[in-house]
Amino acid sequence: MQAATVAPRGDAALLDRALLLRAAGDALVKLNPARLIRNPVIFVTEVVSILVTILSVAALVRGEAWGFFAAIAAWLWFTVLFATFAEAVAEGRGRARAESLRRARTDARAKLLLRADDRSLWQPRSATDLRSGDIVLVESGDLVPSDGEVIEGIASVNEAAVTGESAPVIRESGGDRSAVTGGTLVVSDWIVVRITAAPGSTFMDRMIQLVEGASRQKTPNEIALDILLAGMTIIFLIAVVSLVGLASWNGNPPGVPVLAALLITLIPTTIGGLLSAIGIAGMDRLVRFNVMATSGRAVEAAGDVDVLLLDKTGTITLGNRQAAAFHPAPGVEAGRLAEAALLSSLADETPEGRSIVAFARDHHHLPIPVLPADAKVVPFTAQTRMSGLDTADGSYRKGAVEALAAAIGAELPAAVRQDVERVGRSGGTPLAVSHQGRLLGVIELKDIVKPGIRERFAALRRMGIRTVMVTGDNRLTAAAIATEAGVDDFIAEATPEDKLRYIREAQAEGRLVAMAGDGTNDAPALAQADVGVAMQTGTQAAREAGNMVDLDSDPTKLIEVVEIGKQLLITRGALTTFSIANDVAKYFAILPTIFVASYPQLQALNLMRLTSPESAILSAVIFNALIIVALVPLALRGVRYTPVGAAALLRRNLLIYGLGGIVAPFIGIKLIDVILTLLGFF
């Protein structure tokens, strides 16, 4: 059976020809009023476009001048089309990824076990016919037919179809590495899997629905903004209707197409046309980071997070303790301790054991000997808490200080005890070393804090986010690592109840909390957190509890998730500011030219000195349509985010998008007016 094709992880090209052509067709479909009514601003624009189109056709039939009316109608339709086109492009990018995922799926055949305890009794079954609770056998070369949990066996699994990473991972029964995903490939050994997903609701199915945007619901922020835009539309509609009576009193009422153009240029069509695209693009950016959000609400919540819970091991530290120093006991030479430490670790294939051998070689210039043929390896056990080597030269042991001291029947000298306490206070782990029952000294193992992590936490602090390290270490070790990493707080000797209690207390204070986890014991906290990022390699319980799944299983990605959420909110806020600021300039473009005949004093507000009232109206309508097109790439890519405080962010937004929103229409409308005049339209 062939392996599934790796889903592309790169960003879909924004100007991909096929994508744009399909989006153009989808934009026409979205003109259906039953669908467009969900966007009140663009719905009103469509209704007005229909009205002006009818009036221009009526003028043509009556033999009256109809060109100006038709031009207004055409650009109003372009405004609606460009707005639906922006949403269609955003959805199209997600659909392209969904199609690649569909191609990655194969109609896998399952080996349904007739008896759970007998792997030789099975019958072929289509993966689509499997039900939750079925037991299947998956052997080397087979695709995992559906989501499930390993209940027997151990195997190497290639998850490239889901994560894009070609390196296989180990899946085995029990523990936190038992979850398997449908469509992944077993490359060695075998596993027995209990199916946990119903047909059509597997992890891959849900991922396809989400990247297509089919399951995206509007977030509370979007709903609130929709209400605001609808309210502004109603206010401007009332204002424009009121102008009819005001102008009629002077005997010079403007025509309906002119009033329609005024209404459309004054209501916030820019943000109304881009709002859906911004929301869809936010989830799309998460997908490009290989994070799947179960709702747009989760992405938005990530942008408002102010407390971040991070696991120590593998997130803040590298995850493997490394030898940092040898501390000899009184009367013992450093070289002798180094030699004993090397020999006791010679057969230890753990990262800690290999680091001890490397430290003895690099810092004490000891050659690494070949393991003697007659040597007896003493493996580490939870009972003895020691490991070592028995050779012709005697027995070498290393292990937990108290355990080794008890095994050799020795009291710890005061100097050795001081070394042990100092290592513990610094955040390290002490291991005692002995040869032939004599205590030689202490090895200092240290959790290595990831490079650059302190700077990242400092950036989060500038964003107003409080970082909390969660660890099972004792308070002394936790405090030392927390200080070195630069986190704001830590939870030592943490239990699932401790995590849950901390999250609830923070939420009771009005804070939004994010955390990452992968084990079943993390599920309660993931479910309670406002943003719970579960690791793809974690258990089924953890993945179901969180509202995001990290397909790369990289806990540090929680920081990127927060940044993407903030970028989404900033983009929405920036374009809203720009849209509303645009309207200020349009007042000066249209109002003076429409009513200057009735109120000559308004000529003072004609700052742009536009050619004629008709040119002013048409230039404003054209600019109103083109600015949506110009902002589509920004809506899809997002406003560049930098970790600064809220006050600095507000100042930057007002300066760039507020002031820019006022200045741009003055330049754009005047430029269009000049072009129309040069072309002889006016």
Detail the residues annotated as belonging to a binding site.
348, 352, 380-387, 398, 518, 522
What distance, in Å, lies between the first and last C-alpha atoms of the chain? Answer: 70
Classify 220 as helix, strand or coil: helix
CA contacts within 13 A on the Cβ side of 618: 21
Q: Where are the alpha helices (DSSP H) in 365-474?
A: 401-408, 414-425, 453-462
Token pair for 652 = 């930057």
Q: 376, 390 in Cβ contact below 8 A? A: yes
Q: What is the DSSP letter of 604?
A: G
Q: Is 129 a catalytic residue?
A: no
Q: What are phi and psi of 516, to 5 degrees?
A: -120, 145
Gap between the Cα atoms of 451 and 467, Å rounded:
17
- What is the Cα gyration radius of the chain? 34
Token pair for 667 = 């330049």
Give the CA distances from residue 301 to residues 158, 223, 276, 306, 417, in Å, rounded to whole numbers and listed in that order: 33, 14, 17, 10, 49
Handedness of CA 665, 42, 99, 144 (dihedral sign): positive
Classify 393 as helix, strand or coil: coil
Encoded amino acid at 448, one letter: I
Strands 548-550 and 531-535 come out as parallel
Collect all residues with Cβ–Cβ distance below 8 Å to 330 and sequence separation of at least 6.
413, 415, 416
Collect all residues with Cβ–Cβ distance below 8 Å to 91 and sequence separation of at least 6.
23, 26, 212, 213, 280
Q: What is the DSSP letter of 128?
A: G
Classify 111 as helix, strand or coil: strand
CA contacts within 13 A on the Cβ side of 290: 22
Catalytic residue among 142, 311, 552, 673: 311
Q: Is 543 buried (19+), middle (13-18) or exposed (0-12) by CB count in 10 A?
A: buried
Q: What are phi and psi of 360, to 5 degrees?
A: -65, -40
What are the binding residues for ATP? 348, 352, 380-387, 398
Handedness of CA 118, 123, 128, 130 (dihedral sign): negative
Locus of tokens 């072309």: 679
**Degrees to nearest 5, angle at CA 455 with 450 and 461:** 125
Gap between the Cα atoms of 543 and 96, Å rounded:
25
Gap between the Cα atoms of 146 and 112, Å rounded:
12
- The per-residue b/e assignment along 489-500, b for 16 or more CB within 10 angstroms, e otherwise, is ebbbebeeeebb
Q: 83, 272 in Cβ contact below 8 A? A: yes
What are the binding residues for Mg(2+)? 518, 522
Q: 535, 552 in Cβ contact below 8 A? A: no
CA-wise closest residue to 554 among 165, 280, 168, 154: 165
Classify 95 as helix, strand or coil: helix
Active-site residue numbers? 311
